[in-house]
Amino acid sequence: MSPLSAVQRIYTRYQAIADDTLYLADGRPRAIFELYPPNLALADDEALETTAQQLAVVFSNLHFPTMLLFRLVAVDLEQHAAAAERSAQARGVALARAGLDYAAHVRHLSRTLVLLEARVYVVVGLEGERDAAGRSMLRMVRIWLAGRLRRRGPAHHSVAGPSDTELLDERGEQVALAFDVIGARPHRLDNVEIAELLYACWCPERSRREPLGVQRRAA
């Protein structure tokens, strides 16, 4: 009996990464945002209640589906330990010794414990009503015309057309603005960051040992 395929091979097939967008195997596009929410570990009940109400307002005002992705990522403490060592070298004897001891302690924790930090992402697609309330008549006319032009063109398309790209960007901007208002500091992943995210999800241990050697585009 042959072993079952890994879930990554079954459910995360994709076609391309282009223009800061992930295209699934069937051509559907996805914009991915990473969120950097404030640390609520020490927040009181009132602050937690306020945050929950803000999130409820955000999702109730979005007229299209979104997906929240949560990852628990092992923390790499080596850079933190190296920074502590560099800082200790510029101090006096006592502080330098304390800094070196602290760096050694951090490396010991990294070897003996698995420290995890949460990463939060929002994935935006084109599913849902295109003519949601509040969309301008001009935009609907443009989408309608683009659909007629596509019907006159080739029968099959592998990726979304210009109107789909514009709609995805508009939805992405709406999501980014909504989360920025509540202090979540959204960041849309670019091509390289999307590739790194997929690689890290599929091969978490290998991605730590062998990072992708991908060149970022020039600014």
The pLDDT, as a whole number, for residue 202 is 84
Looking at the fold, whether 90 and 193 belong to one and the same domain comes out as no
Q: Evaluate if residue 123 carries a pLDDT over 80.
A: yes
Residues of the chain above pLDDT 70, percent: 76
Query: Are 126 and 201 part of one and the same domain?
Result: yes
- Asked if residue 19 and residue 110 are part of one domain, the reply reads no
- Per-residue pLDDT band for 170 (boundaries 50, 70, 90) equals very high
Higher pLDDT, 89 or 30: 30
Measured between alpha carbons, how far is 205 from 74 in angstroms, rounded to an integer?
Answer: 9
Q: Alpha carbon 217 to chain centroid distance? A: 19
- 26 lies in a domain? yes
CB 124 within 8 A of CB 171: yes
Give the bridge partners for 14, in sequence order.
Answer: 24
Nearest partner of 164 among 29, 18, 65, judged by Cα: 29
pLDDT at site 155: 41
Do 66 and 173 fall into the same domain?
Answer: yes
Residue with more model confidence, 91 or 142: 91
What digits encode the pLDDT tens for the residues 66-84?
999 999 888 888 888 999 8
Task: Assess whether 125 and 27 both reside in one domain.
Answer: yes
DSSP three-state, residue 155 = coil
Establish if 141 belongs to a structural domain: no
Is residue 145, in this structure, part of any structural domain at all?
Answer: no
Number of domains in the chain: 2
- Tell me, yes or no, whether 17 and 58 share the same domain: yes
More confident residue, 144 or 11: 11
Residue reference for tokens 């208002």? 181
Is residue 142 assigned to a domain? no
Q: Are residues 195 and 167 in the same domain?
A: yes
pTM of the full predicted structure? 0.71
**Residue 194, burial from CB neighbour count under 10 angstroms (0-12, 13-18, 19+):** buried
Q: What is the pLDDT of residues 134-146, one digit of tens each?
A: 444 445 444 455 5
Average pLDDT estimate for 82-111: 89
> What share of residues in the chain are helix, strand, coil (percent, to 5)?
50, 15, 35
User: Does 179 lie in the same domain as 91?
Assistant: no
Give the pLDDT score at 212: 80
Is 200 found in the same domain as 94?
Answer: no
Do 124 and 182 have their domain in common? Answer: yes
Whether residue 58 sits in one domain with residue 23: yes
Question: Which of 32-41, 121-130, 162-171, 184-193 has the highest average model confidence (pLDDT)?
Answer: 184-193
With cut-offs at 50, 70 and 90, classify the pLDDT of residue 57.
very high
Q: Read out DSSP for 7-66? A: HHHHH--EEEEETTEEEETTS-EEEEEEE-PPP-TT--HHHHHHHHHHHHHHHHT--S-E
Rounded Cα–Cα distance for residues 5 and 64 (Å): 32
By residue range, what is the domain housing residue 97?
76-114
Task: Tell me the pLDDT of the chain averaged across its residues.
Answer: 81
In a domain, 152, yes or no: no
Share of the chain above pLDDT 90, in %: 40
Q: Can you tell me the distance from the alpha carbon of 143 to that of 123, in angstroms, rounded to the nearest whole number?
A: 22
If asked whether residues 36 and 105 sit together in one domain, one would say no
In a domain, 149, yes or no: no
Nearest to 171 by CA among 72, 22, 30, 71: 30
Has residue 1 been placed in a domain?
no
In a domain, 156, yes or no: no
